Amino acid sequence: MPKIRLFPSACHSARLARSFGAALVAFSLAPPVPAAEEIPQGSSFFDDFDSFDKSLWGISDGWVNGTWQNCRWSKDAMSVSDGYLNLQFLRHPTEKLDYICGEIQSRERYGYGVYEARFRTAQGSGLNAAFFTYIGPHHGKPHGEIDFEVLTRDTSRVSLNTYVAGKPHNGKPVPLPHPSDDGFITYSFVWSKDGITWYVDGVKMHETAAGSPLPTDAQKIYASFWGSDSFPNWMGRFDEPEQDLTMNVDWIAFTAEGESCQFPASLLCKLE
């Protein structure tokens, strides 16, 4: 199997495009992956983080996605303990930045199917707790993305979105059953050639509009917790946290289209 490179995600680079133009985004991303290093296609999985599966996940470490990000991705902001993946936003001053933050990304890419994660966030303005899929130019593909983003200045809702060829479609904030920092919530979306449908705790919240552009390339799976002081209108003014903050992920799963429910808590068990 060819070596798999881990590169920055573009969940937040997409927002940079919206605010400052695609040229800046292209500058902030890594160069395309050579054809010999094409990311392999993954299959169904359920990961409850009893341990960290290095064959499934890579850790974003040692870079930032752009000058607008006020934390550096670091392996020191990620841990697995007591059955949880912990992604943190930590004060850790360096010459350039005062904070480090945590992200994992799948080593493989995934296509049509059911994507699910159960997590709890912290609360804080200027921070983003995200579960999403992404593929882009540094993988040799157009920018595609499907998002759940809890902008933790307001933990009562989650933002949903897609990007197709670098352009946003079907964006919508939806209410959560309880504040995301009060307890765990399950976030799921079903992606097929006909559309994307988002669910929160098994309740349908949003779907792509008929005839809207849809992602077609398989994508990598990400979970991240990061901050910025560059987007006050979107993420809120960045307020320096009084303590280290954590996004706790209970589990992440993918079930390929056409396959049966693989664990009791899956949305697919309710839909079958």
Look up residue 40 and give its two tokens.
């392999």
d(CA 100, CA 98): 7
d(CA 194, CA 257): 12
| CA angle, residues 114, 154, 17, in degrees to nearest 5 | 70
Q: What is the pLDDT of residue 38?
A: 74
Instruction: With beta carbons less than 8 A apart as the criterion, state whether 163 and 25 touch.
Output: no
Instruction: With beta carbons less than 8 A apart as the criterion, state whether 11 and 145 touch.
Output: yes
Class for the domain spanning 13-32+39-271: mainly beta
Tell me the DSSP string of 119-157: EE----TTEEEEEEEEE-GGGTS--EEEEEEEETTSTTE
pTM of the full predicted structure?
0.90
Rounded alpha-carbon distances, angstroms, from residue 26 to 16, 60, 136: 10, 19, 10
Q: What is the pLDDT of residue 182?
A: 98
Instruction: With beta carbons less than 8 A apart as the criterion, state whether 268 and 114 touch.
Output: yes
Closest CA to 148 of 89, 105, 205, 228: 205
- Domain coordinates in residue numbering, the chain: 13-32+39-271
Question: Which listed residue (37, 149, 242, 259) is catalytic?
Answer: 149
User: Other C-beta atoms within 10 Å of 214: how many?
Assistant: 18
d(CA 166, CA 135): 10
Q: What is the pLDDT of residue 246?
A: 98
Q: What is the pLDDT of residue 8?
A: 56
Q: Which residue has the tokens 């870079």?
A: 63
Q: What is the pLDDT of residue 78?
A: 98
pLDDT, one tens digit for every residue, the chain (272 residues): 333 445 556 454 544 444 333 333 333 333 333 443 479 999 999 999 999 999 999 999 999 999 999 999 999 999 999 999 999 999 999 889 999 999 999 999 999 999 999 999 999 999 999 999 999 998 999 999 999 999 999 999 999 999 999 999 999 999 999 999 999 999 999 999 999 999 999 999 999 999 999 999 999 999 999 999 999 999 999 999 999 999 999 999 999 999 999 999 999 999 98
**Phi and psi angles of residue 117, each rounded to the nearest 5 degrees, phi first:** -150, 145
Strand pairing of 245-256 and 84-91? Answer: antiparallel
Q: Is 149 a catalytic residue?
A: yes
Question: Which listed residue (103, 145, 242, 259) is catalytic?
Answer: 145
Q: Taking the CA atoms of the chain, what radius of gyration do you get in angstroms?
A: 17
Q: What is the pLDDT of residue 11?
A: 58
| CA angle, residues 159, 177, 48, in degrees to nearest 5 | 80
Q: Is 108 a catalytic residue?
A: no
Number of H helices, E strands in the chain: 4, 16
